[in-house]
Structures are given as structure tokens and as C-alpha cells.
Amino acid sequence: STVSPVASEVTFPPAFLWGAATSAYQIEGAVREGGRTPSIWDTFSHTPGKTAGGETGDVAVDHYHRYRDDVALMADLGLGAYRFSVSWSRVQPTGRGPAVQVGLDFYRRLVDELLENGIKPAVTLYHWDLPQELEDAGGWPERETAHRFAEYAHLVGEALGDRVENWITLNEPWCSAFLGYGSGVHAPGRTDPVASLRAAHHLNLAHGLGASALRAAMPARNQVAVSLNSAVVRPLSQDPADLAAARRIDDLANGVFHGPMLRGAYPESLLTATAPLTDWSFVQDGDLATSNAPLDALGLNYYTPALVSAVTDKVSGPRADGHGASEHSPWPGADDVLFHQSPGERTEMGWTVDPTGLYDLLMRYTREAPGLPLYITENGAAYDDKPDADGRVHDPERVAYLHAHLSAVRDALRDGADVRGYYLWSLMDNFEWSYGYEKRFGAVYVDYATQERTPKSSARWYGEAARTGTLPSVESAG
Ligand code: GBH
């Protein structure tokens, strides 16, 4: 890992935002309160076999009832910003019609609490929890869903736009489209490659329509962004076939969203590679211009790079068509690509720790989207954290992970990347989607039996970084 040699000089700009992130279904619980009805994640997690141990977000970390304490904890740690998502099903239970006041009021109280504590809120409108009724009407593969999203965006923008400056339309639409409708490991659990490409397009459209709807509903000073899980895709070798495989995965991971959102066009190579599956006739005139709505910033979520090669008889690994991994592929049109484990130390998710990937990512978008401010809207790691005998939770691996990745951010700043902030994933342990509660990403430990919160040593370490704008040494973490 790239630990900076002179840790005490790793200083950040004074305006840099030091935040933590969460999402609604992963933390709120209270799934039947205030008129909320099921989202696709309620349905999916209650379907046998879909999540580890059949776990659900029914209670999660009960943030809906404990938000005041959670904000007090953030303030105590010294965080400057908090990124959370709004549950569409609380605001518009059927995905249509007028907003439910109780739902909006919850988020207004949360925002006011944050502001009173000097913590800057960033609102994500959609973090994977589509109202079930909209899925029943066809979900993201249907165009209508994009229009419903724009209406929802307008309602939330109207309600919170006077007090929230930072807005994010979608979180990681790649996961919504390709894990939700391709591999089926996320809600709604469909496994249809054409549906996954249609979903990707309608998410692009939803982003553009939603961004415009937000602007129409809010003061002009507010910033509209999107959070993409921009993959860092590396070829196994410089062999032309491996380079081509890496480019194909890059199209399917990045170009499929960055193309329409940042340039108003799908990569030609993506259309060619997927031509055996679809002619993309669901793309209508004007859609790409709509998706290319002006952005004030780009949010990047980074965890680990991907290492790929072409299928040959010399190498082995899970194939993109799912062969050897799961039954279905989240990579339509890439059946001849193999995925490999990147070398190096791994987190509890099995994800390789590679801070250089974060540096590369920031420098890539500095080149490809010049002038667009960047935020790391998620970065973090799961480790097997356990309280010791006196109840304290020591997580030196997470401290090292954060130090290395924040050092990579600092290196990118030095080299000209306009990075405005960093949101640690996650504020606290929570419902890790199909992994249930077994993977702990939090800087704050949660005892799920009592809902007691205990800041891990990484939370103290990160809080000090946030308060001083300088990375403390790894050794200084208690
Ligand atoms: C994020 O998802 C989510 O936004 C968040 O809700 C979640 O809790 C958190 O991260 C931790 O999982 O290109 O084949 O190597 C991240 C999910 C993980 C999906 C990395 C893409 C790489 C696939 N991403 N994965 S590949």
C-alpha cells in the first residue's frame, strides 16, 4: 500500500468535506411506519434464499428512531458532512401521486438536526429501493419509471431544497441495472441481459430528468451530482486480447453511464458488443441529450479494482457469463471475459486493498471530465470487528485502509484533481444487502441485539483527520 512517507504533512484544503455515508434501506428500519409500503428490497430480502441468513432491513440499525443520537455521535466525532438517502417508499409509497407529509417530515427533522450540529447534509434520492408497485409495473426496464423518478425528485427537491445544498440523483446505477436485472443478486432479482441494458438506459434517462426536476424545484445555488461506481478495470497482461477485454468491461461498467451522462452518447464499442442482444431501439430521440443534463459535480464510489483477461485455455477464473461464479452474468455481451483476483491483501469482502486504484480513478476523471469537481461519495472496507473485553473496538486494518486511501486522494489533489470531499462508507455497521449483517463496514460498531453504538478506533482516527484536515499517523489510532 502507498502509505505516505511523511504522514504529518498530509494536509487537505480547508474547505475539504470530511463525511460519512449511509443509505435508507441499510439503516432506517421502521419499514411499516408513516405510511411506508414495500420497496423492491423489502420484497427481495423477504424472499427465501436471497440474503445471508434470510436477513432483512425490517429493523436494520433503527436509525428512523435513533437519528438524533446518530447525529450527536457524528458531531462528537467531528464529522463535517453526512450523505444519506431518501426512501422513495416513505415519500411516495406507490411511486406515484402526492408526497406523504410524515415521510418528508422525517428527512426535514434529520436535516435540521445535522445543520444545527454544523454537519453538511448530502441527499441521495435513489439508493436502490424502488417502490414495489413501480417494479410490478415493469421497473427500470420500463421507460415510465424514469418519469416517475423525475416526479419524486421534484417532490423531495421542493421539500428540502431550501436547506440541503448537495444533491445526488442516483447511487451506483450499475448495481441497479446489472445486479438487479442481470445477475439477480440484488433486488428485484431478475436475470435477463436485455432487461439489464434497458434498465441502464432508463436509469440514465431518470438521472437527466431527475436532475432537471430538482433544479426546477430548488434554489439555483444548490449542486446536483450523481454517484457512480466507476470501476477501475485492469488488464491481466498487455496482450491485445486482454486489453480488448478490459476495454469491454470498462464500457459496461463506466461508459454505459458516463457516456450518456457526461457526453450525451453511448460508446460505439458498447453498442457493437451488445448488438447480438439488442438493437437499443428503446433509446428514443432526445434521450441522450436529456441524460447529459448539466452536472455540478461527479461522485465516485471506489472499493477495489477489477482484473480481467480474455478467455484462453491458459488462464482460469470466473467468466463474465457467470460460468464458475454465479449462474447469470451482470456483464451482457462479455461472455468471453474472465475475472481474476487482484494480488494483495484483502478485506472481509474478499476485495483487494488497492489505494492506487483510487488515485488512478481521480486522475482519469480529471482528464475526461475537466472542470467538473469530484467527490469520493463512498470508500471503505469491511473487517471482522469484535469488541474486546472492556467493550472497545479496535480496527487497525480499517485505520490503515483509510490512511492509504486518503493519502491517494491527497496525491491526486497534489497532481491537479479537483476533489472537494470524501465520504467514508459507512458511518456505522448496517445491512450489507445480500450479505445481511455479517459484513461490517462501519466506523461505528453496532451491537445488533441492543442497538448500542460504539465508535471503533477508526472513527476516532477519522474524526481527528476531519477536525484537523491532516491525516494522523496510523500508529496514533488507539
Ligand atoms: C456500495 O456498493 C453501495 O453503494 C453500498 O450501499 C454498499 O453497502 C457498499 O458499497 C459496500 O458494498 O467490477 O466486477 O469487480 C458497492 C458494490 C462493489 C459493486 C464492487 C461493484 C465491483 C464489481 N460494488 N463491485 S467488478
Banded pLDDT at 326 (limits 50, 70, 90) = very low
Q: What is the pLDDT of residues 9-46, one digit of tens each?
A: 578 999 999 999 999 999 999 999 999 999 999 999 99
The answer, yes or no, to whether any atom of ligand 1 lies below 6 A from the CB of 429, is no
% helix / strand / coil in the chain, to the nearest 5?
A: 40, 15, 45
The answer, yes or no, to whether any atom of ligand 1 lies below 6 A from the CB of 23, is yes
Q: Are 72 and 82 in contact (CB under 8 A)?
A: no
Q: Are 475 and 411 in contact (CB under 8 A)?
A: no
Q: Are 196 and 182 in contact (CB under 8 A)?
A: yes
Q: What is the pLDDT of residues 344-381, one digit of tens each?
A: 999 999 999 999 999 999 999 999 999 999 999 999 99
The protein residue whose alpha carbon is closest to atom 3 in ligand 1 is: 172
Atom of ligand 1 nearest to the CA of 382: 11
How many A from CA of 86 to the centre of ligand 1?
19
The protein residue whose alpha carbon is closest to atom 23 in ligand 1 is: 306
Q: What is the pLDDT of residues 39-77, one digit of tens each?
A: 999 999 999 999 999 999 999 999 999 999 999 999 999
* Biggest CA-to-CA distance, the chain: 64
Write out the binding residues: 26, 127, 171, 303, 425, 432-433
Is 97 exposed, middle or buried, given 0-12, 13-18 or 19+ CB atoms closer than 10 A?
A: exposed
The answer, yes or no, to whether any atom of ligand 1 lies below 6 A from the CB of 254, is no
pLDDT value at position 458? Answer: 98
How many A from CA of 303 to the centre of ligand 1?
7
pTM of the model: 0.96
The answer, yes or no, to whether any atom of ligand 1 lies below 6 A from the CB of 126, is no
Q: Are 129 and 41 in contact (CB under 8 A)?
A: yes
263 CB-near residues (< 8 Å, 6+ apart):
292
Q: Are 141 and 182 in contact (CB under 8 A)?
A: no
Question: DSSP class of residue 122?
Answer: E
Looking at the predicted structure, is the pLDDT value of residue 319 above 80?
no
Q: What is the pLDDT of residues 142-199, one digit of tens each?
A: 999 999 999 999 999 999 999 999 999 999 999 999 999 999 999 999 999 999 999 9
Residue to substitute in 234, 303, 349 for testing ligand 1 pocket (most ligand atoms within 8 angstroms of CB): 303
Burial 250-263 (b: 16+ CB within 10 A, else e): bbbbbbbbbbbbbe
For residues 287 and 251, what is the distance between their CA atoms, to the nearest angstrom? 19
**Could you report how far apart the first and last alpha carbons of the chain are, in Å?**
21
Q: In sequence order, what DSSP letters do the residues of 58-119 get, joined into one string?
A: SSTT-HHHHHHHHHHHHHHHT--EEEEE--HHHHSTTSSSSPPHHHHHHHHHHHHHHHHTT-
Average pLDDT along the chain: 95
Q: In sequence order, what DSSP letters do the residues of 283-297 get, joined into one string?
A: PPTTHHHHHT---S-
Q: What are phi and psi of 379, to 5 degrees?
A: -165, 135
How many A from CA of 251 to the centre of ligand 1?
17
Write out the binding residues for substrate: 26, 127, 171, 303, 425, 432-433
Banded pLDDT at 242 (limits 50, 70, 90) = very high
For residues 333 and 276, what is the distance between their CA atoms, to the nearest angstrom? 8
Q: Which of 394, 399, 401 is nearest to 455 (CA)?
A: 394
The answer, yes or no, to whether any atom of ligand 1 lies below 6 A from the CB of 169, is no
How many A from CA of 216 to the centre of ligand 1?
31
Is 357 exposed, middle or buried, given 0-12, 13-18 or 19+ CB atoms closer than 10 A?
A: buried
**Given the C-alpha cell 436535516, which residue does it identify?**
111
- 444-458 mean pLDDT: 98
- 219-229 mean pLDDT: 96
Active site residues: 172, 378
Sheet holding 306-310, edge to edge: 233-235, 306-310, 337-340
The answer, yes or no, to whether any atom of ligand 1 lies below 6 A from the CB of 89, is no
The answer, yes or no, to whether any atom of ligand 1 lies below 6 A from the CB of 303, is yes
Axis crossing angle, helix 63-77 with helix 457-468, rounded to the nearest 10: 60
Percent of the chain at pLDDT > 70 equals: 95
Atom of ligand 1 nearest to the CA of 249: 13
pLDDT value at position 38? Answer: 98
- How, if at all, do strands 337-340 and 306-310 pair? antiparallel
182 CB-near residues (< 8 Å, 6+ apart):
191, 192, 193, 195, 196, 328, 329, 330, 331, 332
User: Nine-digit cell at 455?
Assistant: 465508535
- 408-425 mean pLDDT: 98
Q: Are 428 and 462 in contact (CB under 8 A)?
A: no
| Residue spans of alpha helices (H) in 292-395 | 355-368
3 state SS of 298: strand
